[in-house]
Amino acid sequence: MTADRHSDPLLDPLFTSDAAADAFSPTARLQGMLDFEAALARAEAAVGVIPAHAVPAIGAACKADLYDLGALGAEAALAGNTAIPMVKHLTRTVKAADEESSRYVHWGATSQDAMDSGLMLQLRRFLDGLDADLAALADGLADLADRHRATPMVARTWLQHALPTTFGLKAAGWLDALGRDRQRIAAARTRLALQFGGAAGTLAALGDAGPAVAEALARELDLPLPALPWHASRDRITELASSLGILAGTLGTLGRDISLMMQMEVAEAFEPSGPGRGGSSTMPHKRNPVSCAVLLSTAIRAPALVGGLLAAQVQEHERGLGGWHAEWQALPDLCRLVAGAARHARETIAGLTVDAERMRANLDLTRGLILAEAVTMALGDRMGRMAAHSRVADASRRAAEAARPLRDLLAEDAEVVRALGMDGLDRLFDPLRYTGAASHFIDRVLALHRHQRRQQN
């Protein structure tokens, strides 16, 4: 990453993605505002508000690399926002090339128009990169779910062994949640619209031409035209931020599960390995869950950022004081973090090592106790549920105390053998025979995933 992408070259490569860092770099922030200014000139010339000859000079000056970011930042510290010095420097640059054209820079607009519309362009670029990672992650999860639909493993509730499940169903659960996240983000994206209202949201400076300029500007920037300017109505921002916060939680759940499965005592799945990845500065044997750490740290940090943006939604009258300013760093920070988590999740799932034999072996750790419910349900058909539950619970207690397989204890119970038979007892202790509708649920999630892919293509 270049220094311009963000301010911390030591940590940004860990916690964000190149695409997000590019989208929210200082240069990208400035270029977004300049793209607004160039498009505004084209739109106003098309409607006849400014002369057409002013457009080339303004457009030629709307290039971020022409300006000193440090100087703009120093002036913004006094002006209160970045657009005010940007307009001054842009006007000066245009004037040096064509004094007449410089009269029409930023014609009829206000600082927030440039900043918010520029942000919309940044967000569009960011969301393109994020969705590419999420699409690849979804495809990877779909592949895991399908390939491991019959890979038995322990289902854990309250972190304890519960019943058999399949790794395919676990992957399908991650995929299903991710699908909803992508739908929420896509819906929020449709409401990211042009900001153009002038000083107080009326476009009064443009007279009767205001609506026509707004329509032309929306076309130039390829942004939706809202019903009216939204300077103080920040629900568009908080909707996207909330959706990103929920996504952070989904990715955090994936990270939590995989990190627990990576524990040596469990050893069922592992992040990809490679030179320099997941090592320890002192313990050569370590294989640390690096990506999971990023997913979990993002899930920890995102809610505070989302909460700040929700608090900032309350703004005063036609343009707010302080609330708008609170968005400027919080939203890019949230976007960068979530993009980094999405990148790590994609890479982890693409290279995940799955130990199916260890998953199967872990099912036997309780010596068959994990299938006590299966036996109870089968016996319940013969002797009633409560009597069956009592009988299996007693056998389970004695099996645990004696460290013996539950099947052996039940095989010594003549009434159980009469009810189930030895072959029936053996079948009940096959974990794959007690995964219920797991395969059916996987099929449903995969069908939803295929449908979503068709819609997006």
Rounded CA gap, 309 and 170, in Å?
Answer: 33
Continuous segment of H or E residues that includes residue 161 = strand 160-166
**Beta strand segments in 346-438, E:** 353-354
Dihedral of alpha carbons 221, 223, 227, 229, sign: negative
User: What residues are paired with 163 via a beta bridge?
Assistant: 155
Three-state secondary structure call for residue 264: coil
Catalytic residue among 92, 273, 277, 280: 280
Three-state secondary structure call for residue 284: coil
Tokens of 251: 């990715």
Rounded CA gap, 248 and 302, in Å?
Answer: 7
Assess whether 219 carries a catalytic annotation: no
Rounded CA gap, 97 and 87, in Å?
Answer: 16
Residues recorded for the chain = 457
Rounded CA gap, 108 and 14, in Å?
Answer: 43
| 105 within 8 A of 90, measured Cβ to Cβ | yes
- The owner of tokens 């950022």 is 305
Assess whether 256 carries a catalytic annotation: no
Catalytic residue among 29, 182, 189, 319: 319
* Positions marked catalytic: 280, 319
